[in-house]
Chains A and B, each alone.
Chain A
Amino acid sequence: GQNIDQPTEMTATEGAIVQINCTYQTSGFNGLFWYQQHAGEAPTFLSYNVLDGLEEKGRFSSFLSRSKGYSYLLLKELQMKDSASYLCAVRDGDYKLSFGAGTTVTVRA
Chain B
Amino acid sequence: IAGITQAPTSQILAAGRRMTLRCTQDMRHNAMYWYRQDLGLGLRLIHYSNTAGTTGKGEVPDGYSVSRANTDDFPLTLASAVPSQTSVYFCASSDSRDGSGEQFFGPGTRLTVL
Contact = CB atoms under 8 A, between A and B. Distances in A.
Contact of A43 (B44, B90, B96): B90
Interface of B: 31, 33, 35, 40-45, 48, 50, 56, 58-59, 90, 96, 100-108
B42 A99 contact: yes
A101 interface: yes
Given A95-B96, A96-B45, A96-B48, A42 B90 contact: yes
Contacts, number: 51
B93 to A, nearest CB: 12
A87 interface: yes
Which applies to chain A's interface (DSSP): helix, strand, loop or mixed? loop
A45 B41 contact: no
Interface string A92-109: 001111111110000000
